[in-house]
């Protein structure tokens, strides 16, 4: 078992943990944390493939990871703003009880 | 597979599981910060210094704190800890387990992972900056626009609703 294998398996495990949390928890913030974990697992894959790929001097994986981090930050900001707005309106962050789009 | 990788990987996985399945939300956010730190260490170990430090700055410094603030802002009086998981939690857990098994089987059966390991490249920040300003200048501008729009949108969404009835 070489090193790339280890990184890929770790990334798959992180993705599965994030997916399990996002699918099973009731709290909207924990669902968002699960999505962040899945994004991070994808980033780890990019960096590992860049490092162990055929030409690491091309910097493609690093660039993709940097842009992905920026997009994840924007996503977290908008997601948390939405959760705060929902909490102000429904007085709960339980995704099972937020079942109306109309206020 | 060296010991350092094993230690960091174990730390990352355990803290990620804690971030997902602990009862107290503040503990979840703190575990998440540890997970992000472990991932930053892995990036450093892989030789991507810039991404590692960007991970520390953006995730540990900003996103984890933002999540902590959101948890504190949305904490309601009654603690509905009795219903931690949704009703059909076994379905979600089964899907996640199936995804992991499939991915692990793909990784183990892949021919890519059997390749020789190339020499380590050491991307200096200068090289990354030059690439960002030459090859990747259009995506950089798009990201700048996206971040501006997302942050303005977040402020507008999160601010108090005005009484529109007048």
Domain ranges of chain A: 3-90
At B28, list the tokens: 């979840």
Chain A environment of B60 (Cβ under 8 Å): none
B57-71, pLDDT tens digit by residue?
Answer: 999 999 999 999 999
Q: Which residue has the higher pLDDT, A2 or A19?
A: A19
Report the pLDDT averaged over residues B7-22. Answer: 93
Return the CATH number of A3-90, one of 1.10.3720.10, 2.60.120.10, 1.10.357.10, 1.10.287.3510. 1.10.287.3510
Q: State the complex-level ipTM.
A: 0.91
Phi then psi for A94, rounded to 5 degrees? -75, 120
Chain A environment of B91 (Cβ under 8 Å): 23
Q: Is A82 on the interface with B (CB under 8 A)?
A: yes
Nearest to residue B8, comparing CAs of B33, B39, B31, B54? B39
Q: Name the pLDDT band for B166 (thresholds 50, 70, 90).
A: very low
Question: Residue A59: left if φ>0, alpha if ψ -120 to 50, beta else—which one?
Answer: left
Q: Is A99 on the interface with B (CB under 8 A)?
A: no
Residue A1 pLDDT > 70, yes or no? no
Q: Is A45 on the interface with B (CB under 8 A)?
A: no
Cβ neighbours around B134 below 10 Å, total: 8
Query: Pseudo-torsion of CA B133, B135, B137, B138, nearest 10°?
Result: 180
Q: In DSSP terms, which residues pair with A25 in a beta bridge?
A: B85
Q: In whole angstroms, what is the distance from residue A12 CA to residue B104 CA?
A: 7
Residue A70 pLDDT > 90, yes or no? yes
Chain B environment of A69 (Cβ under 8 Å): 51, 54-55, 58-59
* Subunit contact B16:A53, Cβ cutoff 8 A: no
pLDDT at position B113 is: 60
Q: In whole angstroms, what is the distance from residue A33 CA to residue A18 CA?
A: 8
Query: In this predicted structure, which of B59-73, B75-89, B93-107 has the lowest mean pLDDT?
Result: B75-89
Nearest to residue A85, comparing CAs of A72, A71, A70, A98? A98
pLDDT at position B77 is: 55
Stated pTM of the model: 0.89
Helices and strands (DSSP H and E) totals, chain B: 7, 0
């Amino acid at each position: 078992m070489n090193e790339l294998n280890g990184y890929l398996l770790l990334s798959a495990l992180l993705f599965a943990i994030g997916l399990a949390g996002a699918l099973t928890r009731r709290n909207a913030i924990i669902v968002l944390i699960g999505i962040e974990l899945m994004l991070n697992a994808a980033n780890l894959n990019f960096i590992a493939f860049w490092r162990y790929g055929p030409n690491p001097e091309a910097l493609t994986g690093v660039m993709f990871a940097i842009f992905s981090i920026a997009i994840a930050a924007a996503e977290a900001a908008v997601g948390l703003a939405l959760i705060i707005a929902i909490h102000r309106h429904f007085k709960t962050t339980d995704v099972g009880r937020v079942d109306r789009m109309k206020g | 597979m060296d010991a350092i990788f094993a230690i960091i990987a174990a730390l990352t996985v355990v803290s990620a599981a804690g971030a997902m399945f602990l009862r107290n939300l503040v503990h979840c956010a703190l575990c998440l910060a540890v997970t992000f730190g472990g991932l930053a260490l892995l990036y450093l170990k892989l030789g991507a210094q810039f991404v590692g430090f960007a991970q520390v700055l953006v995730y540990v410094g900003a996103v984890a704190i933002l999540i902590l603030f959101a948890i504190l802002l949305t904490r309601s009086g009654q603690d509905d800890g009795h219903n931690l998981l949704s009703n059909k939690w076994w379905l979600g857990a089964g899907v996640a387990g199936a995804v992991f098994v499939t991915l692990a089987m793909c990784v183990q059966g892949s021919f890519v992972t059997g390749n020789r390991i190339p020499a380590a490249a050491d991307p200096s920040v200068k090289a990354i900056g030059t690439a960002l300003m030459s090859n990747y200048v259009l995506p950089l501008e798009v990201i700048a626009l996206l971040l501006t729009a997302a942050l303005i949108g977040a402020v507008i969404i999160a601010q108090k609703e005005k009484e529109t009835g007048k």
